[in-house]
């Protein structure tokens, strides 16, 4: 089945690529990015991959421009060739060609694409790509975290999500989508802002991401809460402007990391919110002792639902049944 993510992390490079990324001058690197070096397309993509990490903004911009200029068909053929590209190649392609239907459509079928790359696409794509992703029923069934990423995607309005059969997680998310539409007229300006911030996030060093996570607006928080670096995503939860609705969305998201869940459980103000506490009980990464303690505030309705759930630990299920039985005996007494 595709999307196994089991391929080795080792990326072998040719001597020509090693020279360009380690020893070549800036002028030589820029010349290679303009296509002036005798490299295969795969080697050139490997050069893109390494130079995209350059602290030189001009080099990074040249990488983005060069990768954006590759014909969709040629890129799609490379992606479709079994074992031709490394998962890191696919990650970079997904970032730069996020709105390319042919490229992303082929990438979704690749056995070498990682779960994190798929989550990044689902969480940031728009338009035709969003609709294409939302139509992949088998993929979404096998990976529920992708459905959640689509549902919380800030670049697509709530009405479109509902039309495509996606449940919008919170009332706040719907209102935010409506507000964004109202402020942006036809939506193009708002989408451009989201795209710009997402592209900026791809090029930021970790320290700058952390600073933005701590101080940024809701768009920045939505983007950076999904960052693979736990220092970045964790900093979002320390942003003084974060709302209970955003925290609830994190607590409900089954793909949220153990660190994010831990930080939520340590905040007494958030734990005063019934919905957040209930979501923590249902989350697989909440420490079992805390989940058991949080169950004490659950309503009978939620306890009954928990007692029948197949998505949580059997310890929680059995405890819910014991609590219900105890309440029933107390009522009779």
Distance CA 244, CA 43 (A): 47
Q: Which of 127-131, 302-306, 316-320 has the lowest mean pLDDT?
A: 127-131
Q: How confident is the model at residue 229, as a pLDDT?
A: 85
Asked, for residue 327, whether it belongs to a domain, the answer is yes
Terminal Cα-to-Cα distance of the chain (whole angstroms): 56
Helix (H, G, I), strand (E, B) or coil at 291: helix
Which of residues 180 and 41 earns the better pLDDT score? 41
Q: Where are the alpha helices (DSSP H) in 204-286?
A: 206-215, 218-224, 230-236, 244-252, 258-265, 274-282
Which pTM does this prediction carry? 0.53
187: left (phi over 0), alpha (psi -120 to 50) or beta: left
Tens digits of residue pLDDT in 100-127: 889 999 999 899 999 989 998 988 888 8
Tens digits of residue pLDDT in 181-224: 444 444 444 444 444 677 778 778 888 899 999 999 988 998 89
Asked, for residue 163, whether it belongs to a domain, the answer is no
Asked, for residue 326, whether it belongs to a domain, the answer is yes
Dihedral sign for Cα 226, 143, 193, 156, please: negative
Question: With the CA atoms of 85, 87, 89 and 92 taken in that order, what torsion angle do they form, in degrees rounded to the nearest 10?
Answer: 150
Asked, for residue 295, whether it belongs to a domain, the answer is yes
Asked, for residue 220, whether it belongs to a domain, the answer is no
Tens digits of residue pLDDT in 225-254: 988 888 999 999 999 999 999 999 999 988
Asked, for residue 282, whether it belongs to a domain, the answer is yes
Residue 171: CA atoms inside 13 Å, Cβ hemisphere, count? 2
Burial of residue 100 (number of CB atoms within 10 Å: 0-12, 13-18, 19+): buried
Mean of the pLDDT values across residues 310-327?
91
Tens digits of residue pLDDT in 68-86: 888 898 999 999 998 889 9
Structural domain that includes position 274: 254-333
Q: Which of 3-17, 39-53, 244-258, 290-304 has the lowest mean pLDDT?
A: 3-17
Distance CA 34, CA 21 (A): 15
pLDDT beyond 70 at 175? no
Task: State the total domains in the chain.
Answer: 1
Asked, for residue 319, whether it belongs to a domain, the answer is yes
Asked, for residue 72, whether it belongs to a domain, the answer is no
């Amino acid at each position: 089945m595709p999307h196994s993510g089991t391929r080795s992390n080792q990326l072998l490079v040719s001597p020509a690529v090693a020279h360009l990324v380690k020893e070549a001058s800036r002028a030589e690197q820029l010349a290679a990015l303009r296509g002036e070096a005798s490299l295969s397309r795969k080697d050139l993509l490997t050069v893109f991959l390494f130079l995209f990490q350059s602290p030189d903004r001009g080099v990074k911009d040249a990488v983005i421009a060069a990768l954006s200029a590759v014909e969709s068909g040629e890129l799609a053929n490379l992606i479709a060739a079994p074992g031709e590209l490394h998962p890191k190649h696919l990650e970079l392609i997904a970032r730069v060609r996020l709105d390319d239907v042919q490229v992303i459509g082929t990438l979704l079928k690749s056995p070498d694409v990682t779960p994190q790359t798929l989550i990044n696409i689902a969480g940031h794509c728009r338009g035709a790509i969003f609709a294409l992703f939302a139509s992949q029923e088998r993929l979404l069934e096998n990976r529920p975290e992708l459905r959640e990423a689509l549902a919380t995607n800030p670049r697509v309005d709530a009405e479109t999500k509902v039309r495509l059969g996606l449940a919008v997680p919170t009332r706040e998310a719907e209102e935010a989508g409506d507000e964004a539409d109202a402020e942006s007229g036809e939506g193009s300006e708002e989408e451009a802002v989201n795209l710009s911030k997402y592209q900026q996030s791809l090029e930021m060093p970790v320290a700058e991401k952390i600073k933005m996570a701590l101080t940024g607006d809701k768009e920045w928080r939505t983007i950076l809460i999904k960052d693979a670096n736990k220092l970045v995503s964790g900093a979002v939860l320390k942003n003084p402007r974060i709302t209970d609705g955003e925290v609830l969305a994190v607590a409900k998201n089954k793909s949220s990391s153990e660190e994010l869940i831990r930080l939520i459980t340590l905040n007494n103000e958030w734990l005063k919110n019934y919905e957040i506490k209930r979501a923590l009980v249902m989350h697989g990464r909440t420490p079992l002792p805390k989940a058991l303690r949080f169950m004490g505030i659950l309503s009978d309705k939620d306890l009954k639902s928990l007692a029948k759930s197949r998505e949580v630990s059997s310890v929680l299920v059995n405890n819910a049944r014991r609590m219900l039985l105890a309440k029933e005996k107390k009522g009779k007494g």
